[in-house]
Structure 1
Amino acid sequence: MSGDPEVIVIGAGPNGLVAACVLARAGLDVLVVEAHPTRPGGALASEEATEPGFVHDVGAAFFPFAQISPAFRDLKLGDHGLRWTFAPIDSAHPAPDGTVAVLARDIERIRDNFGSPEDGAKMLEVANWHRKVEPHLLPAMLETFPAIRPALGLLPFALLRVAATFMRSGARLSQSWFRSEAARRVIPGLALHTDVGPDDTFGSGIGYMLAVMATTGGYGVPEGGAGAITDALVRLLESHGGRVRVGARVDSIVVRDKRAQAVVLAGGEELRATKAIVSDTSAPALLGRLVDEKLLPGRVVRKMRSFAQGWGTFKVDWALDGPVPWATELSREAAVVHAGDSLADLRSFTAQARGGELPTNPYLVIGQQSLSDPTRAPEGKHALWAYSRVPALPPGGDWKAVEERFGDAIDERIEGLAPGFKARIRARRVVSPSALEAMDANLVGGDLGGGSNAWYRQLVFRPIFPYFRYRTPVRGLYLGSSYAHPGAGVHGMCGYNAARIALRDLR
């Protein structure tokens, strides 16, 4: 197509690309503009970050939503080259005392490996129940709020059970369900993928969903790296006539006659959109920087100035001479290993991260992608990926001064669970929160979750009432990033929902 595009999408992260694919598939001429100078994808990318031949994921590395996201199912990315790999165990939760609890798509493995036979039986019962309700529950949670039609598929008893589960803190839910410490640390530990601590009000939902999705969709690893998801989305977009332009940083959005009309790139070039603009950016960047504050309600401007971000993220990549020598055999089969020793340990970690301290015993999410995808490392070698949650800035305010030391603390943490680990390290790269933000402006202060995931930042409050259905105060301008409902996670639903709302408005 030639001339002005009908829709411009700002940002080629997963939500931006999903939105672009939906709009292009509907017959619209779509242009995606991406700030990165060489590639689309934002943090959804892969690179040889340590040594040649070792492929490391830049941001997200394993994908519990990938098999069950309504957006990904609808777009059929497998038809565009995306291939998934899976480890025998999806998530392992070891501790220095030698105990371990595991989650797997083969749910029978949970029965004998979840702290105790009684706790295994309870988790098995929960997983089996969830499988029955998931086809209705996930759309109800992920589609444009309020998603009434999928919610109607849940029987009243199921709705009550979901509500009773989600209304508790992660610690209270685990203590009511399980008796062993190994089982009790699983759900609160999974919630720490975001900024939700063990004792937070209504904090159990995130941990619960990540636990049960490990038994349904599983923690899939894309063959070749996380960038394979981006590549498939770009191929799908191009098959419908859409296109991506990299090295195109948007400096502002032009609003004329109270409607979004164009974007202005760094350097001054103006690109006109004849029908709509969808933004895969942070909410504060869109409402107050890209759009002139003078064009927005004062309440929105004030909210964006004080917008609550989630915790920072400190990431490490390793090139290893062999697999991690975990003390617990089950951890050697796991796509993801979570290092959180107990409820007390998770509480201490949460208090330190919220108090602005560097955690002394870091909680870790550790990705072993090369176990199921041997393309990630040379033969006989392995690539390893991990992150911890930290303050956006360390004590003293300078990550450069402390990042290697905190990387050493993470090495020691893994060594305590896998004696001999440090001897297998060939190379290491540490990535601080400030480096993550420099790589992708959406990761403000290293926040992976699109703002805080506290309960009062969800649903009608995400990002701000009444603009929770992807529309903004400016006509023709939509927010389709993780700063909109349903928030964090590589599921594409924020962009998918925003695109469907834009299509509804255009019709």
Structure 2
Amino acid sequence: MSSGVQRSTPVVDAVVIGAGPNGLVAAIALADAGWDVVVVEAEREVGGAVRSTELFPGYVTDLFSAFYPLAAGSPVIRQLELDKHGLVWCQPKSPVAHVVSPGSSAYLWRDLDATAEGLETSAAGDGDVWRQLYTAYRRVRTPLLDALFTPFPPVRAGLAFARRSSLGLATDLARIAVTPAYRLGIEWFQGDAGRALLSGNAMHSDLGASRAGGGFMGWLLSMLAQDVGFPVPRGGSGRLASALRSRAEAAGARILCGAAASRIGVVTGRATSVQLLDGTAFTARRAVLADVSAPALYETLLGPRVTPPRILGDLRNFAWDHSTIKLNWALDRPIPWLDPRLADTGTVHLSGSSAAVMRGGLRLEGGELPGQPFVVLGQMARVDPTRAPSGCESAWAYTHVPQAFARDEHAVDLVAQRVRDTVEAAAPGFARTVVAEHVQRPADLEAADRNLVGGAINGGTSALHQQLIFRPTLGLGRPETPIPGLYLASASAHPGGGVHGACGWNAARAALSAHGSFGAIQRLLTETVWERLLHGS
């Protein structure tokens, strides 16, 4: 029976759905501009896939992402001054190393000379090649990162890039963008150390070492590692999320956790409200920004009655990136590496030669379980001593499997054991250091963050067929959606996965521009283009 009391509907300028890094960055940008912003988050804490906890007493474990070269390099994150909100970065001497064979590794050191000298030992001339690559990167660093992390097309950043680069350098980078990492490694380096570093870094995306675009990712992460390192937040990855929350609240944004959105209200074709599972509703005067996956936005929060049929049809071909299996460990002492220099490394690639990396990537592409999985391992207390009791270690390792195996318990167990065996081969006696272990299966990752569908961590594949104007479906390559007032602010939007905040920042800037001096013209152009894309007129 009704109580006769009508619940009021709060009215704000903008509602942000999701308090992952992109959602929090979007809230900051809007609140800094003076908008009244509320952020609704389904989980009990902010951060999305940037969270940490004490899985084991005295040990801090990063539950998802752990090291942040893209955050350290992102112009979006840098301008937020998160150090004023408690964020402290910790750096290892070696951001990343690649175990080519037990006892033999390729190293990328923070010191450029040390990196080059190590590669020169692998093969004469490779050290000079590395210096040349880094010199070219430094020449275009600022406009390149600006172009990567701004809305498509990056007009201003593109002009700045043209001013800073020669025609030869521009064409070199264009070729890097479409050449597989394994091929670039063969062209650039004589020895396998440089090739392995390049291919291993490419494997941080789902492009691997053999696909177009993988060469660019391998090159970019390698150069960022040399430039800004692979830093980790002191105290755990959750400190990055809490700093973003503090910054958002300092700007005036309100953040509600345990508040799951169930529907986006659309009136006369425009997004006007967000309803929560508990029945609470917020009216959005200006915009709704969704830090959720593209399928969740269009198929669930909007639904088939609102979403244009063309978008629903395209989403049937939406491709997730590979599933992730992650093992977390509490160790009673440091990892007993055969190569003792690995003690100075934060992130270790375990997979063998560059050719082995490529073969493993090809198996993933073919839908097969990896025989020798590509393993990324983090030894966090070596970088940040607050993560474990004195003399102990907090470590983790992850690998990927095809989405078809995401819920295959037997396959997950099999691959998890292969991960253990891979670590043991490079560090005999590792198993005896393990005090406790916790395995995060793909289904566990999705249960903890509904954006990580099947354990996919990048909001959809980074393959070229789902980038730029094809991300997440054929469209503008921008955060605007076919629904006026609604913006996609998650990793499903350009530029995609990684903790860089650009997806949220771009969505916020688009919303602000739509209500700026030329907002009426921008809205008309956007709606006209969408109309032609969706209806072919």
State the TM-score bracket (shorter-chain normalisation).
over 0.9
Structure 1 unaligned regions, length at least 5: none
User: 2:40 matched to which residue of 1?
Assistant: 33
Count, aligned residues: 502
Find the counterpart in structure 2 of residue 243 from structure 1.
Answer: 254
- When normalised by structure 1's length, the TM-score is 0.96
Query: Deviation of residue 272 (structure 1)?
Result: 1.5
User: Equivalences for 1:60-75 in 2 at 5 Å?
Assistant: 60-75=65-80
User: 1:331-480 to 2 correspondence within 5 Å?
Assistant: 331-394=342-405, 398-480=407-489
Q: CA deviation at 1:300?
A: 0.6
8 Å contact from structure 2 (residues 477, 494) kept in 1: yes
The residue number in structure 2 matching 1:126 is 133
Amino acid in the other structure paired with 1:436 = L
Deviation at 1:118, TM superposition (A): 2.1
Residue type matched to 1:11 in 2? G
Q: Is the 8 A contact 1:376 1:383 kept in 2?
A: yes
**How do residues 137-176 of structure 1 correspond to structure 2 at under 5 angstroms?**
137-154=144-161, 155=165, 156-176=167-187
Match of 2:240 among 223, 229, 247: 229
Tell me, yes or no, if structure 1 residue 44 matches structure 2 residue 50: yes
| Structure 2: distance between partners of 1:424 and 1:398 | 30
Distance 2:268 2:316 in 1: 25
Match of 2:59 in 1: 54
Of 288, 310, 313, 1:302 maps to 313
The match for 1:279 among 271, 290, 293 is: 290
In the alignment, is the contact (CA less than 8 A) between 1:357 and 1:391 conserved in 2?
Answer: yes
Q: Does 1:103 align with 2:114?
A: no
Aligned to 1:287, what secondary structure does the other structure show?
helix
Deviations 1:395-431 (A, max 9, x none): xx74444544432221110111111211111111111
The match for 1:84 is 89
Q: Secondary structure at the match of 2:288?
A: strand
Corresponding position of 1:21: 28
The 1:456–1:379 alpha-carbon spacing in structure 2 relative to 1, beyond 3 Å, is same
Please give the alpha-carbon distance, in whole angstroms, between the structure 1 residues aligned to 2:64 and 2:214. Answer: 24
- Distance, in Å, in 1 between the alignment partners of 2:112 and 2:380 is 21
* TM-aligned CA deviation for residue 161 of structure 1: 2.0
Contact between 1:399 and 1:432, CA under 8 Å: does it hold in 2? no
Please tell me whether the aligned partners of residues 322 and 381 of structure 1 are also in contact (alpha carbons under 8 angstroms).
yes
- In 2: Cα distance, 1:385 partner to 1:173 partner: 30
Any idea what the Cα deviations from partners look like across 1:40-59, whole Å, max 9, x if unmatched? 1111100112x201111111
Determine the C-alpha separation between the residues in 1 that align with 2:201 and 2:74: 19
1:57-88 CA distances to partner (integer Å, 9 max, x unpaired)? 11110001222211111111111111001000
Secondary structure at the residue paired with 1:5? strand
> Greater CA deviation, 334-343 or 95-104?
95-104
TM-score (norm 2): 0.91
2:506 matches 1:497: yes
* Separation in structure 2 between the aligned mates of residue 411 and residue 143 of structure 1, nearest angstrom: 40
Higher CA-based Rg: 2
Deviations 1:178-203 (A, max 9, x none): 11122212212211112113221343
Q: Provide, for residues 304-332 of structure 1, a one-character-per-residue CA deviation record: whole Å limited to 9, x for no partner.
A: 13211110011111101111122223321
Q: SS in structure 2 opposite 1:273?
A: strand
- How big is the shift at 1:157? 3.1
Q: Tell me, yes or no, if the aligned pair for 1:399 and 1:434 is still in contact at 8 Å.
A: no
User: 1: CA distance between counterparts of 2:402 and 2:465?
Assistant: 21
Amino acid at match of 1:92: A
CA contact (8 A) 1:185 1:340 kept: no
> Where does structure 2 lack aligned partners over 5 or more consecutive residues?
1-8, 517-537
For residues 239-292 of structure 1, give each alpha carbon's deviation from its aligned partner in whole angstroms, at most 9, with x where no partner exists.
Answer: 111111111111111101111111111133222212110000001110121112
Mean CA deviation greater in 145-154 or 204-213: 145-154
Counterparts of 2:213 and 2:412, CA distance in 1: 33
Q: In 2, distance between residues paired with 1:148 and 1:462?
A: 19
User: Match of 2:31, SS?
Assistant: helix
Alignment partner, residue 218 of structure 2: 207
Task: Work out whether residues 205 and 214 of structure 2, in 8 Å CA contact, stay in contact via their aligned partners in 1.
Answer: no
Tell me, in whole angstroms, the C-alpha distance in 2 between the residues paired with 1:201 and 1:402: 28
Output the amino acid matched with 2:26.
A
How far apart, CA to CA, are the structure 1 residues paired with 2:445 and 2:393?
A: 23
Partner Cα distance (2:206, 2:453) in 1: 14
Task: Identify if the C-alpha distance between structure 1 residues 97 and 424 changes in structure 2 by more than 3 Å, giving closer, same or farther.
Answer: closer
